[in-house]
């Protein structure tokens, strides 16, 4: 029997009615994922909400403004009850600790500047949670991330969000082709957060005016050092602050209290020009400081590259790209020179300050919004 090739695709890209399309929505309890769930449910999709409990629930209840706090689980459940779809809370504490928190602590102790939200997306949300969605016989999984998935000539492509101010491509560069085929990002095309909040108000969601989370969920008030000290007792051992020539300028109370590019809090006075942290030497317990120009970097080595381009990464000697090394800065022109199937050197056409091992280096196609992938900076 011939297949009917004239079936109209629904809004999630499937040739069947919404009621026959099961979608698992990753619900953090915030306004973005709540709007996604409400919109899809109102369109008639077979929605299943899933919220991950990623760290100690008791501690979470005492802390607001974090993506995984206890109040957020309650908010996600309330949305599900309002729209009549099932909602599950999955205990991922052990997975999250092993896959994200432990590496965060070790990287920080090694003098790197880790980005745990990327590892969480890569190793938990888009890996274990995605497999759970498949186990629930879902056709796809939807999230509230601000990024776009577009169909290209060789398959689905990842693109920056319609609103550059909300774009989350920096945190999602490690999404694989296989994952991208299963994922949907219904908010990616919106051009402002006001549109999202308006949709929340339209659906009568109590979270319509809920503030966005700012902190890393397991780092209260952005105090990384206190978290590291709990995870690795004795990590805050004192040491010396030295200049680039090795001259001792002062003492510090632990390398974990410093990051590359930091200026404030050095406790060194009486100098004509300000000093910045230019390097961390955790083995020698030294914080190396220098003038601002010592922070400038043009050559950036990158490894563990997840490549989403049409041709293999190492099929060319070099690629003209845009790159982003910090989530808060716009992409800038660079030349990508592969050194292997998943390693490369990135030459920035204009120097970047404060480049640190452990940061992500995200790559974009020049003159388009397409994400070509990215990797991890592995030495200063």
So which residues are the catalytic ones?
120, 217
- For 100, the token pair is 């994200």
Burial of 189 (0-12, 13-18, 19+ CB in 10 A): middle
Count the neighbouring beta carbons within 10 Å of the beta carbon of residue 216. Answer: 21
The answer to whether residues 331 and 322 touch, using CB atoms and an 8 Å cutoff, is: yes
- As a whole number of angstroms, the distance between CA 324 and CA 304 comes to 16
Please say whether the dihedral angle defined by the alpha carbons of residues 208, 213, 214 and 220, taken in this order, is positive or negative.
positive
What's the half-sphere exposure (Cβ side, CA atoms, 13 Å) at 172? 27
Interstrand relation of 155-159 and 332-338 (parallel, antiparallel or unpaired) = unpaired
- For 107, the token pair is 């990287």
User: Mutual orientation of helices 102-109 and 224-231 as an angle, nearest 10°?
Assistant: 100
- For 187, the token pair is 């908010």
Q: Which residues, 6+ apart, have CB-to-CB distance to 52 below 8 Å?
A: 26, 68, 89, 90, 92, 96, 124, 125, 129
Phi, psi dihedral angles at 24 (to 5 degrees): -85, 125
338 beta partners? 344
Which has the closest alpha carbon to 271: 247, 240, 295? 247
CA torsion angle 30 328 265 297 (round to 10): 150
Question: Three-class SS of residue 332?
Answer: strand
- As a whole number of angstroms, the distance between CA 166 and CA 197 comes to 13
- Planar angle of CA 285, 287, 292, nearest 5 degrees: 165
């Amino acid at each position: 029997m011939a297949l009917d090739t004239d079936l109209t695709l629904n809004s999630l890209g499937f040739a069947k009615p919404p009621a026959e399309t099961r979608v698992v929505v990753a619900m953090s309890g915030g306004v973005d994922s709540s709007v996604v769930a409400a919109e899809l449910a109102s369109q008639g999709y077979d929605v299943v909400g899933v919220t991950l409990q990623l760290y100690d629930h008791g501690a979470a209840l005492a802390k607001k403004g974090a993506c995984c706090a206890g109040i957020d689980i309650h908010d996600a459940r309330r949305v599900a009850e309002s729209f009549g779809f099932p909602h599950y809370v999955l205990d991922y504490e052990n997975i999250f600790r092993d896959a994200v928190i432990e590496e965060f602590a070790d990287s920080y102790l090694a003098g790197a500047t880790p980005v745990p939200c990327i590892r969480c997306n890569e190793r938990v949300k888009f890996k274990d949670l995605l497999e759970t969605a498949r186990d629930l016989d879902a056709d796809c999984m939807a999230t509230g991330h601000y990024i776009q998935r577009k169909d290209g000539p060789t398959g689905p492509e990842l693109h920056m969000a319609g609103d550059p101010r909300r774009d989350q491509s920096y945190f999602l560069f490690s999404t694989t082709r296989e994952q991208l085929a299963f994922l949907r990002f219904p908010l990616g095309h919106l051009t402002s957060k006001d549109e999202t909040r308006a949709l929340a108000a339209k659906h009568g969601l109590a979270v319509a005016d809920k503030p966005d989370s700012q902190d890393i969920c397991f780092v209260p008030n952005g105090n990384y050092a206190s978290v590291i000290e709990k995870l690795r007792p004795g990590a805050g051992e004192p040491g010396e602050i030295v200049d680039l020539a090795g001259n001792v300028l002062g003492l510090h109370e632990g390398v974990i209290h410093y990051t590359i590019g930091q200026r404030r809090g050095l406790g060194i006075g009486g100098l004509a020009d300000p000093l910045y942290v230019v390097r961390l030497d955790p083995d020698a317990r030294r914080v190396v400081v220098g003038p601002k120009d010592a922070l400038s970097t043009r050559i950036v080595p990158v490894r563990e590259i997840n490549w989403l381009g049409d041709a293999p990464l190492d099929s060319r000697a070099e690629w003209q790209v845009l790159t982003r090394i910090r989530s808060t800065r716009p992409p800038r022109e660079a030349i990508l020179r592969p050194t292997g199937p998943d390693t490369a050197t990135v030459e920035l056409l204009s120097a970047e300050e404060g480049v640190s091992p452990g940061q992500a280096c995200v790559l974009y196609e020049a003159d388009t919004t397409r994400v070509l992938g990215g990797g991890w900076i592995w030495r200063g």
